[in-house]
Structure 1
Amino acid sequence: MFLALREMKHAKLRYGLIGLIMVLIAWLVLFVSGLAAGLASDNAASIKHMNATHLVLQEESDHRLTRSALELSALDEVQQAVGEAESAALGVRMSTLTKEGETKKTDATFFAVDVNGMLAPKIIEGSMITDVTETEVVADASLKEEGFRLGDTIHDQATDLTYTIVGFTEGQSFSHSPVVFMNLKAWEQAQPKHGGADVGPLVQAIAMNTDNDTAAKVSAELEGVEVITKADAMQGIPGYKEEQGSLLMMIVFLFVIAAFVLAVFFYVITIQKMNQFGVLKAIGAKTTYLARNLIGQVLILSLVSLFISIALTYGVAYMLPASMPFDLSPMLTLGCSALFLVVALLGSLLSLYRVAKIDAIEAIGRAA
């Protein structure tokens, strides 16, 4: 490590430029990773944070909640298998809202839940809706950015019904739109009778909090349904899979590019120091000593670059507008940082191989 530090101190500009490249690459990787996580959360936060492990959907709905339609009576059959407290009906409908007295339109998704069940949202402002009223809702706090406040009356353009916002929750979005919660009574009021028969409201899914074996049992015993996990439901949200796939491909390519760039930089530097390495070997320096110094340089540059990149990423994230989805959790930061260190070390393997193959006599002869 002594040799590595002395060399970096002597060639400040050379190693400073390499460090700058590493900072820019790591910064880009962290920013795109945070953007991917933010978009995923904005697209499927309501499903991701749902207090459930599996969802019962209509058969052949392609894992899409909006394509599923189940009679509410199916809930009784599910409850017999998993228990009343561990299952709940879920209605999902996308619509457009307008605030009373205004013409500005806002996309939103209505979720119908049992207000006393496991899917009831956590209230951060105002109060929870009851299971009696048909005109009260709880909305995601992101609607505040559109000018909605407690007590406001909203108009649902799909059903021509109006509701009053009595509370706000947070972290509830579906398909990049805020979620508005209502009770099942209001959900039934908003639905037409199906085929003229009073079969009760149709819901899109039945959420279950259970293990895989029980979920498989429910799938086998109930006709015309399929049981999927929350991860499957997230993948079924329109555009979710394609959006995350594109961003993941970008991140992978960034890591590949980082490996190649670092490999080229360190290899060129190693070639320029062949004579010095030859002299060191001639006076007794072992290959393992030279390799440790090379790895030391890579680790020092990588760690310093990561520290600067993390600071820049969180600094920029702090200045981003609230409307831009960005979520860089500590675990995601640690994961990307560890992977970047691995990539940097892999990029130095070519240089390590070249150092190991140095012939002291030949190198001294070239120097002479």
Structure 2
Amino acid sequence: MFLALREFKHAKLRYFLVGLIMVLIAFLVLFVSGLAKGLSSDNASAIQKMNADYFVIQKEADNRLNRSLLSEDKLRDIEKFAASQSTAPLGIQMTTFTKKGSSKQIDATFFAANVNGVLAPDVVEGRMINNHTTNEVVADHSLKEDGLKLGGHIKDQFSGKTFKIVGFTKGESFSHAPVIHMNFKEWAAVHNLPADKQMLFNVAALKTSKDKAQLIEKKVPGVAVIDKSQALKGIPGYQEEQGSLMMMIAFLFVIAAFVLAVFFYVMTIQKINQFGVLKAIGAKTGYLARHIISQVLLITVISLVISIALTYGVAFVLPNSMPFDLTPPLVLGCSGMFLVVSVIGSLLSLYRVAKIDAIEAIGRAA
């Protein structure tokens, strides 16, 4: 470390430029990672947070939850193999509504569930509805940006029904639309179902073991059982959106490795004579290797600290409507990857130092 610090002091501008490039690359990786996680939550947080292990859907639905249709009879067939307490039907419907006193249309997703069961959301403001209330719903807090408040009324454009918002949840969205939770009584009213007609659901969520999930898929005709990751990939645009962003992040890591490798290799070539002299006076290859790795890691750590501070600073001024979520585990994961990539990028320089012949290097210096 002593040799590395002396060299930093001697060539400030050179290492400043290397560090600046690393800061920019690390900042871009962190920002895109936060954007990817933010978009993922904005697209599927209601499913990600759901207290379920598996989802039973219609076999022909192609893993799309909103394409599936399950009847009450089918739900009873499923409950023969899984306890009713661990089986929760769920209705999903994309909708458009207007708030009272305004003609502005707002997109949302209705989620219908047993509000006393495992799929009941956490209410952060106001109160929760029960299974018998009428014309009352619980909405995601993001709708406050559209001017909705507790006690406010919204009108569903498809059914014409008016609902009162009695509570707000946090971080509940589906397909980039805020989720509005209702009970099955209102779900039937929205679909104008007569009392003698079976109710239709989209999904049966399961809190059960893998063996029971496979048994249901095998024994109940016309259904497929998928896990949460498969359900997320079935949300329109989710897989394509995340795949594109993950590819960008991967390329940024590759670019970072190449940048470090090229910079340090060029600097190593420029210092071959000095390394040769050090070897001639007894410096071991391992000592010189530790010097190079110390330089790389020190530059990387300083660059990461600056880029993390810069990213959180930019995130602080971003509008609330922009889906951005940079969590500490995500920052630690990206930082760890950067350290690994930095060490990999220094391997070319380490190889060159190991091959230096002291006598030949001193001869060139003379």
TM > 0.5: yes
Mapping of 1:8-27 within 5 angstroms? 8-27=8-27
1:358 aligns with 2:356: yes
Q: Does 1:316 align with 2:294?
A: no
Q: Which residue of 1 aligns with 2:222?
A: 224
Give the corresponding residue for 2:209.
211
Match of residue 287 from structure 1: 285
The corresponding residue for 1:264 is: 262
SS at 2:96 equivalent: strand
Question: Which letter does structure 2 place at the counterpart of 1:35?
Answer: L
In 2, the alpha carbon distance for the partners of 1:142 and 1:329 equals 19
Aligned twin of 2:273? 275
Aligned-partner residue type, residue 319 of structure 2: P
Q: Which amino acid in the other structure matches residue 125 of structure 2? A: E
* 1:119 aligned onto 2:119: yes
State the one-letter code of the partner of 1:266: F
Query: 1:311-338, CA deviations, whole angstroms, 9 ceiling, x for partnerless residues?
Result: 1111211211111111111111111111
Aligned length: 366
Write the distance in 2 (CA, Å) between the matches of 1:329 and 1:105: 33
Matches within 5 A, 1:159-170: 159-170=159-170
Alpha-carbon distance, 1:80 to partner: 3.0
Q: State the Cα deviation string for residues 263-293 of structure 1 (Å, max 9, x = none).
A: 1000010011011011111111111111010
Give the whole-Å Cα distance in 1 for the aligned partners of 2:158 and 2:272. Answer: 74
1:143-200 C-alpha deviation (Å, 9 max, x unpaired): 001101111110111211111111111110000000000100110111145xx99432
Is contact 1:219–1:226 with CA below 8 Å preserved after alignment?
Answer: yes
Structure 1 residue 181 corresponds to structure 2 residue 181: yes
Paired residue for 1:62? 62
Q: Is the 8 A contact 1:100 1:152 kept in 2?
A: yes
Whole-Å separation in 1 of the counterparts to 2:224 and 2:198: 21
| Contact 1:294 1:352 (8 Å CA) reproduced | yes
1:309, CA displacement in angstroms? Answer: 1.0
Report the aligned-residue RMSD: 1.2
In structure 2, stretches of 5+ residues that fail to align are none
- Name the SS of the counterpart of 1:109 in structure 2: strand
Alignment partners' CA distance in 1, 2:53 and 2:256 = 38
Higher mean C-alpha deviation, range 36-45 or range 118-127: 118-127
Q: Distance in 1 between matches of 2:353 and 2:197?
A: 78
One-letter amino acid of the structure 2 residue matched with residue 45 of structure 1: S
Partners of 1:75 and 1:138 in 2: how far apart?
25
- 2: CA distance, partners of 1:22 / 1:234: 34
1:83 positional shift: 1.4
CA contact (8 A) 1:72 1:89 kept: no
Counterpart of 1:72 in structure 2: which amino acid?
Answer: E
Deviation at 1:82, TM superposition (A): 2.2
DSSP-derived class of the 1:271 partner: helix
Higher mean Cα deviation, 77-86 or 282-291? 77-86
2:304 aligned to which of 281, 303, 306 = 306
CA distance in structure 2 between the partners assigned to 1:79 and 1:303 by the alignment? 54
Deviations 1:84-119 (A, max 9, x none): 221111000001110011011111000000011111
Task: Quote the sequence identity (%).
Answer: 63
Q: 8 Å contact 1:263–1:347 — kept in the other structure?
A: yes
Separation in structure 2 between the aligned mates of residue 125 and residue 79 of structure 1, nearest angstrom: 34
1:211 counterpart letter in structure 2: S
Does residue 236 (structure 1) correspond to residue 231 (structure 2)? The answer is no
> 1:29 maps to what in 2?
29
CA distance in structure 2 between the aligned counterparts of 1:102 and 1:235, rounded to whole angstroms = 36
Displacement after TM superposition at 1:132 (Å):
1.4
SS of structure 2 residue aligned to 1:110: strand
Unaligned runs of 5+ in 1: none
Q: Deviations over 1:203-240 (max 9, x none)?
A: 10010111111100111111111011111111000000
Structure 1 runs (4+) greater than 4 angstroms displaced = none
Contact kept, 8 Å, 1:136 with 1:182, in 2: the verdict is yes
- In the TM superposition, residue 307 of structure 1 has moved relative to its aligned partner by 1.0
TM-score, structure 1 length as denominator? 0.97
